[in-house]
Amino acid sequence: TSLLLMAGIVVTVGLCRRLTRRRLRSHQRLCTFLLEMFSTFQICACTNELCLLGNVEPKPHTALTLTYGFTVLHGLTLTGSTCNPCGTLQPMRGGGMSVKTGGLKISAQFVAAVLARVFMHFIWSLEMAEPHFGALSQGCINPMQTTETQAFCIELLFSVVFQLTILRVESVNPKYKVHLIALLITMLVYAGGNLTGAIFNPALAFSLHADCFYDKFLSYSLVYWIAPSLGKFLILYIF
């Protein structure tokens, strides 16, 4: 049921993106906003569901396999979208994107993060699958299983590694690149998922752990917003 749900989300988002391109091509800003919003919604909604499947046996093989598979699927279906505020900073800094367009995309990403969370909470309330039972009563599922300093360093390091890899594989054939990126993300999740969740995406972090941001805003904004953003700026400075 969970796999069918995520597949349905991917198909629906694909149809919405195609319809947006056809009908709103003349409205450039609105088209840009909606395409980025739909794409980020897909990633946030699917990842919310994947988090519930993290305890499915055998652990962690099932979760890692699903992470790899859906990362490849996202890469193949969401071409042209960054779905990560940190990824939007690079073309803004390099002059390839205006500040208005970059701000529009980042706004779309956070709007999608909220919409995905609301949508998934509605789906979980229907209790269509066993992992959904009791999902709404869990509140803040603290992803930080280490100190704030260590969590900050881990998210910073993972952001640097991820963004550096994105830059280095730009010239790789797209059909190979998507697998390289998926493999990297899976390896990072395996390495640090039990410590911080290995998110390195501010919008996705907010969608997954909004309750935790409400309870401990300073700690979570430092680890899941500032750390990955700082990692991106370090990469931009080095290059």
Residue pLDDT, tens place only, 154-185? 999 999 999 889 888 888 888 899 999 999 99
- CA angle 109–177–117, rounded 5-degree value: 25
* pLDDT at residue number 87: 86
* pLDDT at residue number 127: 84
Q: Which residue has the tokens 């990126």?
A: 181
CATH of 1-238, one of 1.20.1080.10, 3.40.1110.10, 1.10.620.20, 2.160.10.10: 1.20.1080.10
* pLDDT at residue number 54: 77
Contacts of 232 (CB under 8 A, 6+ apart): 86, 87, 89, 90, 159, 163
* pLDDT at residue number 95: 66
Q: Tell me the backbone φ, ψ of residue 59, rounded to 5 degrees.
A: -95, 145
CA dihedral 166, 68, 7, 44 (to 10 degrees): -50
Contacts of 188 (CB under 8 A, 6+ apart): 158, 161, 162, 198, 200
* pLDDT at residue number 202: 94
* pLDDT at residue number 94: 65
Instruction: Annotate 2-32 with DSSP letters as a single string.
Output: HHHHHHHHHHHHHHHHHHHHHHSTT-HHHHH
Query: Reduced to 3 states, what is the DSSP secondary structure of residue 112?
Result: helix
Burial 12-41 (b: 16+ CB within 10 A, else e): ebeebbeebeeebeeeeeebbbbbbbbbbb
CB 152 within 8 A of CB 227: yes
Helix (H) or strand (E) holding 48: helix 28-52
* pLDDT at residue number 139: 66
What ranges do the domains of the chain cover? 1-238
| Under-50 pLDDT residues of the chain | none
CB 35 within 8 A of CB 17: yes
